[in-house]
Amino acid sequence: MLSPYRIEIPQSTLDDLADRLARTRWPDEPPAAGWDFGIPLTRVQELAEHWQKAYDWREHEAELNKYPQFVTEIDGQRIHLLHVRCADPDALPLVLTHGWPGSIVEFLDVVEPLSRDFHLVIPSIPGFGFSGPTRERGWDVQRVARAWAELMRRLGYDRYGAQGGDWGSAISRALAAVAPDHVVGVHLNYLPTPPPPEGEEDGLSESDLERLARTRRYLAHQPGVRVLNATRPQSVAYALTDSPVGQLAWLADVFAEWGDPSGAVPVDRLLTNVMLYWLTGTAGSSARLNRESPLGPLPCPAPVGVAVFAHDITLPIRSLAERAYKITHWSEFDRGGHFAALEAPALFAEDVRAFFRDMDTHR
C-alpha cells in the first residue's frame, strides 16, 4: 500500500530551469521603492543569481533522499511522505504538517533531533510538492486530516501526536477531531485567536490588547497573496508555473514578510523550498487549499501545546485560546517567526519534545 520513493529529477528539467533563469525578463521598479511595492528588484536578482550560479539542486536532492520516503494513494490522491523511525520502537509517532508557502523542507533541520524521541511522519499536503497536483475539487483541511488518519493507520500507528504551523496548524487540529481516539496531543507553532466582539475585551492584559490590535489590523488588511490564493489561484498559477523567478519572488516575499526580520532562513533552504514548487508545478494546486477551505472554528478535543514565536503573522492570546481548546503547554520566544522549524530549529524541537514529554502519552 506504500511504495518506496526516491527523488530523481531529470537533468533535462534542471537544464530547462537554468535556461529560463538566464532569460529572465526583469520588471522595472519605482526609485527608492524599498519594500513599499513588494519584494525589491535587487533582492530578487541576488536570489536568482545565487540560484543560477551557486545553488546545487543535486546536493539538496541527496539530502532529501537520505530519509526514507514513500508514496501511497488515499482518496484518489497521491500522498508523498518522509518516514523516519526512532531507534526506540516504543517511541511516540508524530505527524509533522507543513503550511504554505512551505513544504517538507520546513522540517529538515529538526528531523535529527526529533527522531531521537519520535517516529516521524512528514507528509506533503495534497497539492503540494511530490503529493501534487490535486486532480479534483474538495481537498480542504478536513479532507487532508482524514487522509492523514488513514495514512497513520496504514503505517500501523494507533496512537500518535500531531504538530503543525500555518495550514499544518489547521490540519493538526482537524486530525484530532476526525481521529479523537488516536491523537494524544497537538502541538502548534501558529494558532489564530479570533478577536472577541468589540467591547468584550474584559480581563485582557495590556500585552493581550496589543496582540488583539495587531490581529485586527491583519484581518482588516489581508496579505495580497492570501487574497489571490483564496479568490484567483488559477489566474496566478500561469505566471508562477511558467517563470521560475516569478515563483521565487512570490514565495521569497512571503518568507520575508512573515518571518523573523533577522533573515533566519538560510538561502539554500529557501531555494530548495522554491524548487519543490517549481519542479512539481504545484503553484496553482497548493494555492487551491486556501480557496477550498472555508474560514471558521476548528474543534480540537486533544490537549494542545502552543509555541509563540515573536515575529509570527499574528500572536495568539492565551485566555482566548483557552476558551476553545484545552491548553496544557504555552511557550513564548523572543525570536523566530511563521517558519519556526526553519528559523529557530533548536527552540522548535525542544518545545515539541517538552510538550509531549510532559503528557501522559500512555493513558
Closest of 247, 285, 233 to residue 17, by C-alpha? 247
The owner of cell 514548487 is 277
Residue 31 lies in a domain: no
Q: What is the dihedral of CA 332, 335, 341, 347, to 10 degrees?
A: -60
Residue 32 lies in a domain: no
Closest of 46, 167, 164, 60 to residue 105, by C-alpha? 60
The cell numbers describing 157, all together, are 500507528
Cα separation, 47 vs 268, in Å, equals 10
Closest of 70, 309, 6 to residue 187, by C-alpha? 309
Closest of 189, 190, 159, 141 to residue 302, by C-alpha? 159
**128: containing domain:** 3-21+40-357
- The pLDDT of residue 360 is 60
Residue 115 lies in a domain: yes
Q: SS3 letters for the chain?
A: CCEEECCCCCHHHHHHHHHHHHCCCCCCCCCCCCCCCCCCHHHHHHHHHHHHHCCCHHHHHHHHHCCCEEEEEECCEEEEEEEECCCCCCCEEEEEECCCCCCHHHHHHHHHHHCCCEEEEEECCCCCHHHCCCCCCCCCHHHHHHHHHHHHHHCCCCCEEEEECCHHHHHHHHHHHHCCCCEEEEEECCCCCCCCCCCCCCCCCHHHHHHHHHHHHHHHCCCHHHHHHHHCHHHHHHHHHHCHHHHHHHHHHHHHHHCCCCCCCCHHHHHHHHHHHHHHCCHHHHHHHHHHCCCCCCCCCCCEEEEEEEECCCCCCHHHHHHHCCEEEEEEEEEEECCHHHHCHHHHHHHHHHHHHCCCCCC
pTM (two decimals)? 0.96
The answer to whether the CB of 113 falls within 8 A of the CB of 267 is no
Q: What are the mean pLDDT values of the chain's consecutive 10-residue runs (363 residues total)?
A: 97 98 97 95 98 98 98 98 98 98 98 98 98 96 98 98 98 98 98 86 90 92 88 95 98 96 92 98 97 89 98 96 96 97 98 91 43
Strand-pair category, 160-164 with 92-97 = parallel
Largest alpha-carbon pair distance within the chain? 63
Which residues share a beta bridge with 308? 332
Q: What is the tally of structural domains in the chain?
A: 1
Residue 310 lies in a domain: yes
Task: Tell me the CATH number at 335.
Answer: 3.40.50.1820
Residue 231 lies in a domain: yes
Other beta carbons within 10 angstroms of residue 109's beta carbon come to 18
Residue 59 lies in a domain: yes
Residue 132 lies in a domain: yes
Cα separation, 34 vs 43, in Å, equals 10
Strand-pair category, 3-5 with 327-337 = unpaired
Residue 26 lies in a domain: no
